[in-house]
Amino acid sequence: MYKERRDKVSIKFYILIALIVLIIIFGIILLIPHKKVETKKPVKMELYSKQDMEDIEKNYSKTFYNNFKELKKVSEKYFIKKQEALLDKQTVSLDKLINDNHLIATIYDEDGKKCNEDKSQVVYVKNSNNGNYKMTITLVCGKEEETLTTYMGNYDYCKNDTACEKQVEAKKKAEKVVEPETDVSPEPETEVDKKPIPVPTQEPIDTNDNYTLYEYVLAPSESCGEYSDWSDWSTNKIDASLYKEVDTKTDTKSTDYDCSDYRTERYISGYKEEKYVAGYTVTTTKVGTKTDSKGNVVAVYDTKKVPVYGTRKTPVYATRSVGSKKTCQKDISVTSYRYRTFEYKKGINYVRYSSSNKDQYLIAQGYVATGKTK
């Protein structure tokens, strides 16, 4: 009996010990720090110059911002077109982009004055380490002036196997990505440059060598000019245009017209003599001799008909008008025209050109596409 009781106590003791051990192990597990598994968020990319363009839009006039955006786009086109021929450092003025390469039309500031085509320029500097280029764009328009630096190269994420602008990881607006300021500085390569990343904000760039510029004309309005006085009325037809207003009026008036009853008749104006064949006569002419079957020599004759001519008178015909001259009257409608032209204020650039046939910027400013190109 004592032995059975001792066995029961031993079993309870071992169970208690086991529970204590399990509690200790569980506590140790809770005390051990676990490594937190973090999920990597996709890296958001943006164009290298995005923040700079936002600053220009914020700090300058709308006209200057739109002009700068257009110059930047043209600078990228020029790089794609001339990349193989560019020097290690090459400066291209706005004047050359307009007159030599015909990539952009004349740029005007918000006062209608031309931007400085010599000081406005783009400078390309080659990075000898990777072949990419630093592109520095400067635009000077009146009192407004700004310079922007970005990079161009044949990155993996460029579309259509052409060069494009460098992309970087999107930064907060308070941060600023600063690149070295030396002329030929190695452009820092990042892991992002080596991996293709879709770029939904990248605008496709036209790489065609044949650039077409579309003409736009500023629609007449009181804010940009006024009409001249009306011209005198004229019956010569005048066609209206965007900046020529045409007025018409229709009057009924009587007019004379020729209603003569002349007619043409044929008559004998005279006679003439003509030679004609009146008849024929037969003539006999000896042409030689011959010996007949009896051995006699006989003469050989030739006979022929000869016409006998006579003369006679034949009529000569002519034509003449007969009748009388008459003048009648009838009512007709006569359209008269007059016009006046719209005269733009001095300094207003009323003709602009764009590489787009649906330039929303120009349309928003009141320009109308004429359909003409150059």
Residue 292: its pLDDT value, please? 82
d(CA 105, CA 354): 7
Question: Are 309 and 275 a contacting pair, CB within 8 Å?
Answer: yes
Q: What is the residue-level pLDDT of the chain in tens, covering all 374 positions?
A: 444 555 555 677 778 888 888 888 887 887 776 555 555 667 788 888 888 899 999 999 999 999 999 999 989 989 988 888 888 899 999 988 888 777 788 888 888 888 999 999 999 999 988 889 999 999 999 889 999 999 999 888 888 878 899 998 876 444 444 444 444 444 444 443 443 433 333 333 344 445 578 888 877 777 778 888 899 999 899 998 777 889 998 988 888 888 888 888 888 888 888 888 888 888 888 888 888 888 888 888 888 888 888 888 889 889 988 888 888 888 888 899 999 987 877 766 677 888 788 888 888 878 888 888 87
d(CA 125, CA 131): 10
Question: Coil, strand or helix: which one is 113?
Answer: coil
Residue 217: its pLDDT value, please? 82
Question: Residue 153 is encoded by which pair of tokens?
Answer: 């190269």
The closest alpha carbon to 139, from 193, 63, 201, 80, belongs to: 63
State CA 26 to chain mean position distance.
77
pTM, entire model = 0.41
d(CA 74, CA 152): 13
Question: Are 234 and 338 a contacting pair, CB within 8 Å?
Answer: yes
d(CA 167, CA 151): 9
**Cα separations (Å) of 67 from 140, 141, 354?**
10, 9, 11
